[in-house]
Structure 1
């Protein structure tokens, strides 16, 4: 499925992810966590389809449960004691709630980063920061590209070794270890050769020479101006609301947050709109496309 938000200017894409990831990390209000978690899951599924569904429900949800259980096992702060453990430490409602909140924040940020990797390609990042921090932008883009490339190459090597009976699933324990070491040796050799080829290719194309230019086909048009304006308005309102305490929520020693009011509801609504911007843009573009098709 084509993502309309990915077709916007890299500045719009990057600013959006900076905003939502930063807010997801610092807003621990339960409503904010639920909003960000829901829309990060929804957008990741929209971008990656069935693969995202399997990852979210088979990896992220177990991570949420495990992380939520770890906190009350080691943290016993809070005034609402539910019971006492066998070692005499209290199990408090605040520690359980904070564990769930921390786990939700963790998987939400990971989910937003998966969306970031799908939308913000390496050429977009280099386009934005290539002139400001050329070395750092190149290294960052290569690191982001290295992980999926290494994974795909590892799968190809593993499949080819399986055909000759040398995969980690063949033989006894020691045989599997030897097969795994052989596969890793092949991968290390591939990584070193790939690094040399990349270096030679960059040198032959004049990377690092003074006055060298780079081609880019990104233009900041009227659509991007409207999108940037909407992000600025909504994000600014969310920031002002948070500074005024609308997103405030504490877990220790007792749970307490900003009272429910029209201002709080409007702040949470603005935050929901900010998180839903990519999906809103996709729905809007789909409706425009269907309308154009109906007129043919």
Structure 2
């Protein structure tokens, strides 16, 4: 059981949008490292064994994105070498790594968001504001995972009757892949018809249609929402004061380690650690209760 996902959908959505929004604009190295490390830790706590498989895809993606910037940008004062009379600078390399780290951190935070914010929570938040838009976004977000799951089932079923796309000649592999895609498209069309019939039977779109939800905004949700707002407000104030600003060009700006800057770093770290602390706390509590049985 994921403990953090038990909070109210409003709190979950507000937290992830706040954190992801700041992660996209804070390019200071300290903030980048904090964002990435705590995103990885939270993702591990939520996904457990499935995280390591995804981590293997993140590593080459990081290096690809980090290499691109020095090849297209030649700004900077610390020249390492020349490639076809184009300077490769330390500033360009570090900026490429910073951009790659920021993009990967945002991807991992969104991955955690998808693991916590299910489609029913999203519909609960935005269904009354714009039912059609909320339903469209919810169906779209579920589309890729469902297609991946279904294509795995179809592939395994085809292998049992000798239609293995990983073996045989090129023509036989093409035939197998075409058959799998044909079955997948047929399943998708049938599923769309069933979904439409189910929505019609449930009275979707009728003005008198009532809705039911299990989500209740409790006292703990209010406290957590207030804490998130306070910490986020302090972090944004630090950004306006320039503590999240770091320049890579024309050369590196000075890293500040004053008492005030460390305070802003700590506040941001605490903000990112909120779901991690909740998960670890509940895991310890669960293990203790199991040990007393």
Same fold (TM over 0.5): yes
Equivalent in the alignment of 1:211: 208
Q: Does 1:13 align with 2:18?
A: no
Per-residue Cα deviation, 1:237-259 (whole angstroms, up to 9, x for no partner): 11111111110011112121563
Equivalent in the alignment of 1:138: 135
Equivalent in the alignment of 2:27: 28
Q: How big is the shift at 1:127?
A: 0.5
Among 250, 264, 272, the residue aligned to 2:261 = 264
- Structure 1, unaligned stretches of length 5 or more? none
How does the TM-score come out when normalised to structure 1? Answer: 0.95
Contact 1:237 1:267 survives alignment (8 Å): yes
Q: How big is the shift at 1:49?
A: 0.9
Task: Label 1:105 to 1:162 Cα distance change in 2 as closer, same or farther (>3 A).
Answer: same
Query: 1:232-251, aligned counterparts within 5 Å?
Result: 232-251=229-248
Among 60, 81, 84, the residue aligned to 2:82 = 84
Equivalent in the alignment of 1:67: 65
Q: Does 1:166 align with 2:169?
A: no
Structure 2 CA distance for aligned equivalents of residues 6 and 52 of structure 1 = 18
SS of the equivalent of 1:259 reads: coil
Contact 1:30 1:101 survives alignment (8 Å): yes
Task: List structure 1 runs of 4+ shifted beyond 4 angstroms.
Answer: 287-296
Structure 1 CA distance for aligned equivalents of residues 202 and 35 of structure 2 = 43
Structure 2 CA distance for aligned equivalents of residues 83 and 222 of structure 1 = 60
Per-residue Cα deviation, 1:249-285 (whole angstroms, up to 9, x for no partner): 1111212156321111111111111111101112233
Tell me the C-alpha RMSD between the 2 structures. 1.5
Query: 1:34-183, aligned counterparts within 5 Å?
Result: 34-56=33-55, 58-85=56-83, 87-183=84-180
Query: 1:185-196, aligned counterparts within 5 Å?
Result: 185-196=182-193
Contact 2:73 2:92 survives alignment (8 Å): yes
How does the TM-score come out when normalised to structure 2? Answer: 0.96
Q: How big is the shift at 1:289?
A: 4.7
- Structure 2, unaligned stretches of length 5 or more? none
Task: Label 1:292 to 1:157 Cα distance change in 2 as closer, same or farther (>3 A).
Answer: closer
Q: How big is the shift at 1:3?
A: 1.6
Per-residue Cα deviation, 1:147-168 (whole angstroms, up to 9, x for no partner): 1111110000000111112121
Q: How many residue pairs end up in the alignment?
A: 293
Q: How big is the shift at 1:68?
A: 0.6
Contact 2:45 2:279 survives alignment (8 Å): no
Q: How big is the shift at 1:183?
A: 0.8
Equivalent in the alignment of 2:195: 198
Structure 2 CA distance for aligned equivalents of residues 286 and 190 of structure 1 = 40
